[in-house]
Amino acid sequence: MPGPLHGLRVLEMAGIGPGPFCCMMLADLGAEVLRIDRPEGPPGGHPADVPGRGRRSLALDLKKPAAVGAVLRLVERADVLVEGFRPGVMERLGLGPEACHARNPRLVYGRMTGWGQEGPLAQAAGHDITYIALTGALWSMGRAGQRPVPPLNLVGDFGGGGMLLAYGIMAALFEANRSGRGQVVDAAMTDGSATLMGAFFGQLAQGRWKNARESNMLDGACPYYDTYECADGRYVAVGALEPQFFVLLLKGLGLDAARFADRTDPARWPAIKAEFAAIFRQKPRDHWAAVFDGTDACVAPVLDLEEAPRHPHNAARGTFFMRGGGAQPAPSPRFSRTPAPEPRPATTRGADGAAALVDWGFSPVEAAALLDDR
């Protein structure tokens, strides 16, 4: 059975980072995604290319009028267009929102940038770390007295970028079903990472969050919401925030709960953390995983990238599948009536051009002529 987005047609202007991640999410759930690639460059198509999976590829030189005209014809049959260039690039190519909406007024035009379509930095270069630096997100991550720690590129590129754009696209499609009109979705990684930080800005304004790293309940200061090194150099994660979970944590550690009645007092946290750390260092990680297995103590082994797919829970749910010599995350979320199938592997650059063009309304002769003129 096809996924819930079966029948949705998406044109993707090839890029890196959050745009491909957004299109992967749409393709994972059944959308037909056609990526417009440049004719030159690496061939791509490695089966382990997770963000590139699930779509077809058409290679066109957009410096040629015939290629631009072909994209505008494809726009006529598309529901969504996704692009991640700096502001103004698509307009200079003749593929900006005005030109596309003239061909297809219902088109949802998704724009993915770091800074947004306007503002003093709109034309500036940047990467995930640059964008989250300006929203308070990067400042908030790391240990006290040490430099901020980049959270991979999860906050800007993927959470505050690609997922934000996918959410915006689906919202715009919902509105278009009522109005019959498409619109531009301006997704900026600065905006998205600020949104992800919303709860912490709210707590700061209420006096419930300190504007300093490792000073709060959720940033590593609290002894029952942190990681601990074990005897074998591996780690466990502890998240026993609620009182009933904290009692189970103490039981597993062999500690008397009566001694920790003041656990919520930040002044006590360093001493409690030191005691917990000394106990956890006495046994290897998997010993502690076994001690807390089946309890609600909210203690889990910190698994590396090779261990995570083998964990019994992940294996039972099919959270990962194997391809290209390694594990890939399966499509998510799950749907009861229209489950998403395993996504197709990433394709090589331009490999699907002729067939895709025919499926999108070109005649075989037109497709061959266009591809011969690349």
Question: Is 232 among the residues known to form the active site?
Answer: no
Q: Which of 127, 186, 287, 311 is catalytic?
A: 127
Q: Which of 157, 191, 219, 226 is catalytic?
A: 157
Do the beta carbons of residue 186 and residue 119 sit within 8 Å? no
Question: Is 127 among the residues known to form the active site?
Answer: yes
Active site residues: 127, 157
